[in-house]
Amino acid sequence: MEDNIPQQYSLNFDFKAFLLRALSYWKWFVLALVIGLYVVYQQNIRKEFPYTLEASISVQDDKNPLFTSNTSLIFNYGGISGKIQDVLLNLKSRKHHEKVVDSLDLYLSYLQQGRFHMTDIYKAVPFAFEGEAEAFQVIGQPVKIAFIDDEQFELSYDFGDAASVSVQNFDSKDIKTVPVAHSVWAKTYRFNEYIDQEVFKGRLVKNEKSHNLSGKEFYIEYTNYNTTVSQFVNRFSVVNEGGTPLLTLRLTYRNKAKIVDYLNACIAILDRDLLQRKNQYAINTINFIDKQLARVKAELGKKADSLNTFKQRNKIFDLGSESNALITKITQFEDEKMVLEESLLYYDLLKDYLETSKDFTNFPAPAVQGIDDRNVTGAISQIIQLSGEKSKLEYSVRSDAAVFNDLNRQIEGLKQVIYESISSNKANIRFQIQTINRNIANLEREFSVMPENQQKLQGFEREYLLSQNTYNLYLAKRGEADLVKASNISDIILIEPAKDVGQAPRVSNLSIRYVFAVIAAFIPILLVAFVVTFFDRKIHNPADLEPLTKMPLLGVVGWSSADSNLVVLQKSNSAVAEAFRAIRTSLQFIYKRQEVPGAKTVMLTSSVSGEGKTFCSINIASVFALSGKKTVLVGLDLRKPKIFDDFEIQNAVGAVNYLIGQATLKDIVQPTNVEHLDVITSGPVPPNPSELLIGEYMQDLITDLKANYDYIILDTPPVGLVSDALELTPYVDATLYVVRQDYTKKDMLRVINDKYRKGEVKNISRLYNFYDQKSKYGYGYGYGYGYGAYGNGYHGEGAKKKGWFGKLKKAFKR
């Protein structure tokens, strides 16, 4: 058994101790729970629930029915899916939301004080504030409006201790900080009267709700423009129902009227922008044709003037049939040449667009007008498709991802194909123009055989007809563009506008907050219990000793409420007194097993002071004396004498005097009021207690005591602090090592375990003191040892616990 003494103690976590300790904190848990539930209740009743409203639109591929094969004014190979993605990108863009916020002035809020918070009343406000467009308005600070009557109101603000405030101009969106001369200000105004303050400028105007205003209070607050836009962007969402053309717009906000206006304005602005963008193609074409018309018209006027002047001067009014035929052929060739030159211009415009543009989602006219090469149009279709894929990925993939590099390479490759096709087509067109020029030159040589005046006249007429045909062609193209622009309709179809039809707010399940409150009350309690249990090294019940030491457990002494250490004498029928009788019986068994003749000795020690060693010594001596045995209690704790107070005797002379040869045994023995019980106090505190205990007089003292007493009880110093007690082990028949519940630390047993393992101390047993079965650490193991099983009959006497002051006093007395 001695070889199995544990040399180090297990650090395994005691879950049972952890749970019981946590349960012992139930009062703190109840307090935390009450506080948590109250806080949650206050938060719940102050919670302002938002509303969520929806609006639905459909994206259609509405092609203009007036388009013909010759009106190539829109060139979009993206199809309906490409348009949906385009609409989604527009709806999610911050720029679009900025337009909506600007159109509704949503950075200006009208508020009214509710029960717990400011309420946004928006359209329910009985007036409107018209801020000066060029003024800087204070942001983030509410301005109070208190109505005196239906015409007058007091305008005031309170900026606290602020020496400056932030202001913003909502036209330029500039923000700056300006000092304020008066942080608290108030003044009376009337409707339509101009308010000219350093941080607030404008006027209040009436509306149809402006009546019965006396005594009512409202607030106006400007919010930072970017912050306002971000609020709506973060609460806005668009859902595409399964890839169909249907889009559902959703907005969550605390004011339904503002949601309705926002969603409907969002759709209206989107419809306007897309139609404007759609018309822009026709507008670009019209602008291009107008420039050409102006040029051709000027040329046509000059040539008409030249023709008329020549006819009047030479009085020529008709041409021969032969010359007319030549002119007709030349005119036809000129028309063909003009069409080819126009094609060259279109190819140049397309090449310039490809070289200067970065987004090819939609090709605008006239960049693709007049181009019918399938290689070019096919490549453009692929570029538009790749650009659409790239636009979709920009919202979900990082800009430096490899997929973008791959798409860019494909687009560049297609552009090279288009460049080569353009170069080839332009070379072919130039060849055709050269051929036409040769034909025109051949026809013009035929004029050389005609009379000179007739030749000149035909030249003037030919130039005039050519310019007139060109002018007529451009007029026709412009008419087509005007027709397209006038007949264009938006691709957005409003399916269901946002409406206030009595939708309830989005009430979240606030009951779950109470669950979190319970959990939040548990967590700190469990955490504290865990930390305390993890770092707690104290012994809290007899079972804790089993893995710590192999020393046998002789007895368990319960918690005592007595004011004195003389429990056996004062409360002889108590459970504590019965426990000491059981210890007496166990000691007698030890003596009998060891066959100790004559007087018997027992030594009591402990790890440190305060574990109840003296308390146990006094009561063990008392039970032996009450059994009729002549008993002496010897106080050998020379450094800290204690036992004399309880017996109301003096400590002037004691064991120290005997050990230094100044007194005899008769001089130091003091009788007590208890029959058969004598006490030897420690006496004056010596400078060398250890030397006295190992001196030659110590053996003489024990010998003299054995000659005069049946039982000798030695109260010694703690072995964890000094080695005095170990010097006395050769003189004793049994040693009791006192361990106190909730006081002795597990590590304190290291010293005595080491001595026991090495055999330096023998016949040693544990005595568990101050056991409280109802303690928060008393785990209810039912240790009786003479009183736990049948001792309940004694609990009527002195079983009531004292308060914490009484416990403290009792602890010091021990």
CA–CA dist 121, 778 (Å, integer): 63
Q: What's the topology of domain 554-813?
A: Rossmann fold (3.40.50)
DSSP 301-361: HHHHHHHHHHHHHHT-----HHHHHHHHHHHHHHHHHHHHHHHHHHHHHHHHHHHH-S--S
| pLDDT band per the 50, 70, 90 thresholds, residue 76 | very low
Q: When comparing pLDDT for 299 and 59, which is higher?
A: 59
Q: What is the pLDDT of residue 804?
A: 47
pLDDT exceeds 60 at position 125: yes
pLDDT tens for each residue of 570-609: 888 888 999 999 999 999 999 999 888 889 999 998 888 8
Q: What is the pLDDT of residue 646?
A: 84
CA–CA dist 73, 363 (Å, integer): 10
pLDDT exceeds 90 at position 153: yes
pLDDT tens for each residue of 23-61: 888 899 899 999 988 888 887 777 777 889 999 998 876
Specify which of 135-144, 354-363, 634-643 reaches the highest per-range mean pLDDT.
135-144
Nearest to 529 by CA among 5, 13, 3: 13
Q: When comparing pLDDT for 327 and 456, which is higher?
A: 327
Q: When comparing pLDDT for 420 and 806, which is higher?
A: 420
Average pLDDT of the residues in 524-549: 83
Torsion of CA 246, 249, 250, 253, to 10 degrees: -160
Q: What is the pLDDT of residue 420?
A: 87
CA–CA dist 361, 152 (Å, integer): 57
| pLDDT band per the 50, 70, 90 thresholds, residue 275 | confident
Name the residue ranges covered by the structural domains of the chain. Answer: 2-47+510-535, 50-107+224-498, 554-813
Helices (H) and strands (E) in the chain, counts: 21, 26
pLDDT tens for each residue of 416-431: 888 888 888 888 888 8
Q: What is the pLDDT of residue 487?
A: 61
| pLDDT band per the 50, 70, 90 thresholds, residue 314 | low
446, 326 in Cβ contact below 8 A?
A: yes
- Please enumerate in sequence order all residues whose Cβ is within 8 A of that of 72, keeping only pairs 6 or more positions apart, or say none: 365, 368, 369, 370, 371
Range of weakest confidence among 51-60, 689-698, 729-738: 689-698
Task: Tally Cβ neighbours within 10 Å of residue 731.
Answer: 18
CA 188 to chain centre: 46
| pLDDT band per the 50, 70, 90 thresholds, residue 399 | low
The mean predicted confidence, pLDDT, of the chain is: 80
